[in-house]
Structure 1
Amino acid sequence: MYLRGAEREQWWRSARGELGEADQVTLEALDKEVRAPAAARALFAAHGVVVLAENLPQGPGLARWSPLPHVVPMLAARGENVPHLRVIVDRAGVELTVFGGGSPRHALGEATTWPLQKTAQGGWSRRTFERHAEEAWSHDLAAAATEIDEQVRRIGAELVIVAGEPRPRSALVDRLNTKTSDRVLMVEHGSRTDHGGFTRDVETMLDGWLERRRSELLGRHRDSDGPAGLGQVARVLREGRVHAVLMPGELPAEVWIGRGGTQLADTAEELLRWGVEEPVQDRADAALARAAAMTDAELWFCPELPDVAAVIRY
Structure 2
Amino acid sequence: MSSTTLLTLPARRRARAADDEPNVPASMQPSAGTRTITMVVLIAAALYFLLPLWWLFVQTTKTRPDMVNTPSLWFGSELNLWENIRSVLTYDGGHFTQWLGYSLLYAGAAAVVGTVVSMACGYAFAKFRFRGRRYLLVVIMAGMLLPAALLTIPLFFVFSALGIVNTVWAIIIPSCVSPFGVFLSIIYCQTVPDELIEAARLDGASEVRIFFTIVLRLLSPAVVTVALFIYIGTWNEFLLPMVMLRGKDMLPVTLGLYTWQNYDTEMLTLQVLTGSMLSVIPVIVLFLALQRYWRAGLTQGAVKA
**TM-score of the pair, normalised by structure 2:** 0.25
- Considering fraction of residues, name the structure with more helix: 2
- Considering fraction of residues, name the structure with more strand: 1
Q: Relative contact order: is structure 1 or structure 2 higher (C-alpha 8 Å, sep ≥ 6)?
A: 2
**TM-score of the pair, normalised by structure 1:** 0.24
